[in-house]
Structure 1
């Protein structure tokens, strides 16, 4: 039987939450649908390249690919955050790889050299070409902003700023000032699952008691989980944590937070693929990029709130946090890779959603809307 993933998804998204099911299998397994996601979602959205404090000094850089487009993000000579094409203007070699520090960007192929603002500074043995003018050559700029401490990049020249698109994020969690949190680790991983499976896994805490029974599952109760209606550009839910994970609670010295604010954990899913857990004591995040239907590239990072960073026991807090999060991530990897394997079955059929999976329902509806716009 031939399937039309776009039509199948639209049919599911048209149902009310009370009758909704999980997304059709073809939404995850179809290469044609992934191509639509790349062109209509990832090429048209603000994507997260990590935390702004990962690039501290002029010349610090990182690289990423957006829908097949190689991109450099760096601190320029004036300390401003800047993004530009990572493709040489001579013979089109990729310029930089990974992360690092440079005084200038030098092409590894023919040594054309660019300043940190993207202008061409040097081009060996070009003096005999009468059509060549160094001043006319520069790496194309790409939109890049610091939003709440996050490096946000887009290929879309007309997309509204993140501060406008996600204004309701600040209304929800502005009292925690996530821009003031400090990143203490940043890693890159690749898992054998579809990017949406991992995104959906983050969006619901229905799986916590079982999937995370060895770590954080016991600190959360299904009866206390709240999954409100989300917004047009993100969904969220929140959990009240007990003291079994002390770092999730406000620091004892913090007198600004009161009542349930001191133990509320927020889970924010900024579409399409920035997933943030924010607590009074720490944050951690995943930023996802599809790598085929069967793999996802993961930027995984986290850190501490100002109160815990100022604590003399900060290194101890960091070590405890990192150990916990790594274990949680290992559990999530097992769960999400099993879902991908299960989707290969001839008997794989999406089931009905729990009320605790409302964010997944809203995510599916958002994907359906985005894919429909040519």
Structure 2
């Protein structure tokens, strides 16, 4: 049975854990993952305040292309308008408040599935049947609320916070780190949505450390990376990362011959980027895949899972088959990760759960705990 500890108590436990230097740090306390009240604090002080990634701009190539999500309880649509700009707005009808669009698709206009109120792509009301007898109704007075939306290196972010600092400002250091990869020119080839039975932070932390690869992924990629070649540096306020060197057994993980931007070991270096709060990117010189996470209470996580290739490989005849083979491997890796992270949450929910000391390969997890503490402490 999950522990039912109040959010402030969990925040106090996290404050104590976060105050320890990395050299003697432990994992975050179990109640930080299992407390419903703490999960509410995260929605209020993290997901309603920071930027959330809905995926790649390349997934919205044409006017009317849209994706939907729910951010901290607010249904949102993100679409490319008739002028070619990507915009975010409320996905709730202004009449009887039904949600409007679902999933992904393309629309010339936005039609409410309840009473057919119809909106233009810019959120203005185009038409509303059988409203002529209401003397107070004026079509021009209706427009779907507009939300913050920014593109950065091909990623699309939304925020409910009108005062959130620009994405590019917060992530300028990341942009410099991966400049030679030209991440803007990676095209999404697949997108899926999943729900796993674990806390969102468990899955985020699982991505942030490769310490688990030899064991959790023994059946797939566990033997492809050497622990002694993993580099885990101290994180920054808006992100953390670690790097792994790949060998040339997977050609599309290497820099393309036409890429003269990367030199030496850079041509086989994989960045594992954790953009706070919940965008997790595996970036190789040839391909990428990502997870964008959103909590569904303390015990479930909604996952936006996508990936694709660098446009450097666009004209290589064998690259698409290589990527299809990689996607099949990633599916197997996800099965392994799901098993591991759901076991972790089951263990966290035990009355006997106690956090152990962190390995030097789990430095990103320590920095993530500092971020969570800094955000949730705003409730004090």
- TM-score with structure 2 length normalisation? 0.96
Asked if 1:217 corresponds to 2:222, the answer is yes
Q: Pairwise mapping of residues 1-374 of structure 1 onto structure 2 (< 5 A)?
A: 4-374=9-379
What stretches of structure 2 of length at least 5 have no aligned partner? none
Displacement of 1:169 = 0.4
| Distance (whole Å) between structure 1 residues aligned to residue 16 and residue 371 of structure 2 | 13
Mapped to 2, the partners of 1:213 and 1:249 lie a distance apart of 23
Structure 2 distance, partners of 1:252, 1:330, is 33
Q: Contact 2:281–2:288 (CA<8 Å) still a contact in 1?
A: yes
Cα drift, residue 300 of structure 1: 0.4
* Segment drifting more, 196-205 vs 124-133: 124-133
The alignment partner of 2:68 has SS state of strand
CA distances 1:228-278 after superposition (whole Å, capped 9, x unpaired): 111110000101112233321122444442210111000000000000000
Deviation digits for residues 50-84 of structure 1, max 9, x if unmatched?
A: 10111111111111000000001111111210110
Separation (CA, whole Å) in 2 of partners of 1:341 and 1:161: 37
Would you say how many aligned residue pairs link Structure 1 and Structure 2? 374
Deviation track 1:8-60 (CA, whole Å, cap 9, x = no partner) reads 00000000001110000000000000000001000001100010111111111
- SS of the residue 1:303 aligns to: strand
Look up the SS of the partner of 1:91 in the other structure: coil
TM-score, normalised by the number of residues in structure 1: 0.98
**Would the aligned equivalents of 1:219 and 1:245 in 2 still touch at CA under 8 Å?**
no
SS in 2 for 1:171: helix
Contact kept in structure 1, 2:281 and 2:289, CA below 8 Å: yes
Q: Which runs of 5+ in 1 are unaligned?
A: none
Structure 2 residue matching 1:219: 3-state secondary structure = coil
**CA contact 2:180–2:261 (8 Å) conserved in 1:** no
CA deviations over 1:70-99 (Å, ceiling 9, x no partner): 001111111210110011111111111111
Give 3-state SS (helix, strand or coil) of 1:324's partner: helix
RMSD: 1.2
Task: State the shift of 1:346 in Å.
Answer: 2.0
1:128 CA displacement:
1.5
TM-superposition CA deviations, 1:184-229 (whole Å, max 9, x none): 1111111111000000000001111111122222121111111011
Deviation at 1:307, TM superposition (A): 2.0
Separation in structure 2 between the aligned mates of residue 334 and residue 91 of structure 1, nearest angstrom: 42
Q: Answer whether contact 2:282 2:288 (CA < 8 A) is retained.
A: yes
